[in-house]
Amino acid sequence: MAGGAGNGGRAGGAGPGGGRPLIITEDPVLLDDLLRLCAAAGAEPHVHHAVPEPATDGAGAPGWDSAPLVLIGDDAARRVRGAPRRDGVLLVGRDLDDPSVWQRAVEIGAQEVLRLPDAESTLVDRIADVAEGAGRPALAVGVIGGSGGAGASTLACALALRAAKGGERTILIDADPLGGGMDVLLGGESAEGLRWPDFAASRGRVGAGALEESLPELHALRVLSWDRGERVVVPPAAMRSVVAAARRRGGVVVVDLPRRVDEAVAEVLAQLDLVLLVVPGELRSVAAAGRVAAAVRMAARDVRVVVRGRCPEGLDAEAVAGLLGAPLAGEVPVEVGLPGRVAEGEPPGARGTLARFCDGFWRRALGSAQGVPA
């Protein structure tokens, strides 16, 4: 799965050009490089030696205005001077020591200057975003237990289930290799599809469409979990690539996190919009959660507390959140009968108080301008 990007999804740009970038260059070496990078990103470009006409021609080739992305070779910068200013123009070259390149970039209105081979991975990302129709990324929410048995996996599963039931494109990622498997919690341990060990060798960009189509589909959501093998380590680069791909097509991504924050988990935390720290309402659990919260804050941008169960006298949910130095995201009562229903094959969040909590959470999160509940 390393490097390849799917072509599925929404159109990458307005107009007949679709998700196909426009290349303008006469440099054969640079053109070979750009065609190779487009292939790696899953995109089929159109190539011109100068600025094409604004309207598309009979073959459907995009003009200057309609192409979703324009890659201008440094050799062609002077030939496109005077073209109408537009977004999505990149100046690409190979001379790392040419200081005048920035003047040429200003003259043609380029948003960025990319030098090969150093910027190859960045350029592949830009092209693949166009090929896959990348728009607003998914709202990514992580769930982590403040102590053992906090119920974080149950909450993560329920959040993903309710988002999918609400019509959101949803991917549930199990980032805890010692957690028993989210596919098992959803009753899909034998479902066909790829698991984490299949992605362990991923280094470059993972295609969003290819990722989604390869995962098991359970209860209207896609699940990336662990197999029953012995592998419990996924390199940080693979974690980063897979989570980035999951976010690229929008919707919702829910990640079940382990309590130990290593380098791979830090890569995940850095991509999350919000982390929910699940804490049972008891002093010992709050003490343990303080250590977890300190580690999570090293990489996460926003950490909030979910208090599970009834707090003892003299302690309430707001006080728990205050002790942890984080905002309160809500309270989840212990749901009598839930373990038995899960054992009988009903996924967490199918009904009851947990489902109502999750529905309320998504109404706030998806309804806010920032994509995160206030």
Q: What is the tens place of the pLDDT at every residue in 302-355? A: 999 999 988 887 789 999 999 999 999 999 988 888 888 888 889 999 999 999
- pLDDT tens, per residue, the chain with 374 residues: 333 322 233 223 333 345 789 999 999 999 999 999 999 888 899 999 888 865 444 444 567 888 999 999 999 999 999 999 998 999 999 887 888 999 999 999 999 999 999 999 889 888 888 887 766 789 999 999 999 888 999 999 999 999 999 999 999 999 998 888 899 899 998 899 999 999 887 766 787 888 999 999 999 999 999 988 777 788 998 898 899 889 988 899 999 999 999 999 999 999 999 999 999 988 899 999 999 999 999 999 999 999 998 888 778 999 999 999 999 999 998 888 888 888 888 999 999 999 999 999 999 999 863 444 44
Tokens standing for residue 286: 């709050």
- Return the H-helix or E-strand segment holding 123: helix 120-131
Phi, psi of 276 (to 5 degrees): -100, 120
Q: Please give the Cα distance from 165 to 163 (Å, whole number).
A: 5
Q: Please give the Cα distance from 181 to 178 (Å, whole number).
A: 8
Number of H helices, E strands in the chain: 12, 13
Q: How far is CA 2 from CA 7, 239, 245, in A?
A: 15, 12, 11
23 - beta bridge partners? 47, 71
330 - beta bridge partners? 306
Predicted local distance difference test score (pLDDT) of residue 108 = 95
Class of residue 27 by CB neighbours under 10 A (exposed 0-12, middle 13-18, buried 19+): middle
Predicted local distance difference test score (pLDDT) of residue 203 = 67
Predicted local distance difference test score (pLDDT) of residue 14 = 33
Encoded amino acid at 4, one letter: G
CB burial of 305-315 (b: ≥16 within 10 Å; e: otherwise) equals: bbbbbebeeeb
Predicted local distance difference test score (pLDDT) of residue 271 = 93
Name the DSSP letter for residue 135.
-
For residue 117, say if its preceding peptide bond is cis, omega within 30 degrees of 0.
Answer: yes
Q: Please give the Cα distance from 25 to 151 (Å, whole number).
A: 57
Query: Nearest CA to 228 among 171, 154, 178, 158?
Result: 178
Angle CA 204–68–12, to nearest 5: 65
Q: Please give the Cα distance from 230 to 228 (Å, whole number).
A: 7
pTM passes above 0.75: no
pLDDT per residue as tens digits for the range 107-118: 999 999 999 999
